[in-house]
A and B are shown apart, each in its own frame.
Chain A
């Protein structure tokens, strides 16, 4: 394959809260042989509107994303949740629209979540993972159940000789984030994340990793509030070795 042109869908949370994840994604994609572009006309994938029942606004946002990204060979997002939105849910938004249907299908076919793109499309075989220590991995829901991401992150982590994966109990159970759910139903969300942080602590790893910043901020915020010492990072940061930035929620 010629050097594929990849449009990076940064995701709103990475753009706002954790640019380090975006740069890690760029590093990993370039290392895999891609040319990376970041269209400025991107904001959010539209999930807050979509999951609040506002289809009209979601569709307008979707049209904007498709228009900005359809020229690339691939569209990659460092988030299972946003990638699933672009890949699985955008087509549903245009179901009754013959004019857009072809466009949206062509677009959605090109969308991938970062980690699974590296393993399943770019066939990354070796990665010089610098990190040494123990990690535990949380399977974020959309990535796991809508995109089938589960062995891919573990495979890439295993390429690092110094990485020891300590699985937690129920790594595939929701952390209680759920977008606006965590503020609309904060008491329930809290009960769910409490169970999660207990399982994380019991795994006894230095670092908690996942592929979605929303879940990571939720778990990091709860671990910090509970005074637990597990550090939290997006998996891309570890894979790319961008570890200078303090872990999520850690002091500078």
Chain B
């Protein structure tokens, strides 16, 4: 996927001017935030479960190599195959190889952010294989030729009316007078269209929410059941997962699942939770003949042992972006790569380099709402600040900014000089404002006054007045 994160600022300006997008983003409030709150309030042990979930993942990350090995052994024992992919390219090639061996023409896909990260759809198409997204949101954006704008609600930026338009344009074989007003009718239509594709597909690709080391099992949670059809109907099932999805035991997974859906959508559990262990056994009524797991690193091991390690606890629930004022203002596409919102602001520079991703950790007010809702208690603002530190150390931020900061910091370290400068500055600005009490514009303050007035200072600093009054 082409990365446009360096153009974050202009992406954001476009997004802010996009009326449809702005309208669609309004739905995040009722759809996610309120429901999460109700779910969290309804479970007295919710905060304790968050602590527990954090501790489980911390433990796993501290012994990641051991658990990965154990997992891999179990998968092989159950008749599956594990493929280690260091880079996105490795993962793409492995997928292609498996598809070619299976003689695949079409591939159905369950929702997977890793498949976005490695850009598998475009790659398969280039190689003559048709990937078909089966999650409703993913299906919609595939029709639109777009990338997901949210990690669990890929089409959250699209209005219902736009979906109707897209369906009418694509499904020309269906009755033109059909009713597509309700979300349910849209879902039904997608189901009808997809049914045959499920049956025709040679390979099914899914992601994984968890990989269980104890049993070699992959777990997906979905609300539409499309994931189940994707992984049981075709002859070959490929699981695409990044290494940090590993979790020691089934018990651990069930602990973390108690915070996952509640944080994501406010559900107690997703509608479907599906466990897959190896290919179909003789006594099984269904299931794939081949079961492959591709374990992707793509920069994650580099995060281990750094101040960004905690980011690998992320379970991709999306709560941080739902609650982020910046995400809500600009939507997911403006972030310019796979992962938007606060988690993307930490992950993008970690995986794609701070040279490309540096805009994102800077575009935060540090309001901290993301951290306050993150089920895994990931200190997102702190890690964004760490990225700013790395940028600063490497002189990556603009020279004007650096010098402005240096001069300011120097003055701030000299209280006498500071007080003197402050007295002159406030008198000057107060004089400019006159009796108005505020300024509509001020030289060098265009970033502020473009959108708001500047309340004028009283005219004398507090320190000045305090000393005059003989304060201690």
Contacts and interface: CB of A to CB of B under 8 A. Distances in A.
**B364, B412, B435, B457: most-surrounded residue (chain A CB, <10 A):** B412
A204 interface: no
Interface string B385-419: 10111111100010001000110110111010011
Contacts of B445: 183
Contacts, number: 209
B465 to A, nearest CB: 5
A-side interface mostly: helix
Contacts of B326: 185, 188, 192
Contact of A50 (B362, B385, B426, B438): B385
A64 B456 CA distance: 29
Interface in B439-472: 440, 445, 447-448, 450-458, 460-463, 465-467, 471-472
Given A53-B393, A222-B451, A38 B413 contact: no
Nearest to B425: A16
B250 interface: no
Interface residues of B, number: 67
A251 B435 contact: yes
A92 to B, nearest CB: 8
Given A186-B450, A188-B363, A225-B452, A22 B462 contact: yes
Contact of A249 (B329, B330, B408, B438): B438
B-side interface mostly: helix
A51 B466 contact: no
Contacts of B368: 141-142, 145-146
B42 interface: no
A130 interface: no
B346 interface: no
Interface residues of A, number: 71
A184 to B, nearest CB: 7
Contacts of B102: none
A185 B327 CA distance: 13
Interface in A176-190: 176-179, 181-190
A62 to B, nearest CB: 11
**B365, B368, B408: most-surrounded residue (chain A CB, <10 A):** B365
B436 interface: yes
Interface string B291-334: 00000000000000000000000000000000001100110000
Interface of A: 10, 14-20, 22-23, 26, 36-38, 40-44, 46, 48-55, 57, 60-61, 64, 141-142, 145-146, 172-174, 176-179, 181-193, 195, 217-218, 220-222, 224-225, 245-246, 248-252
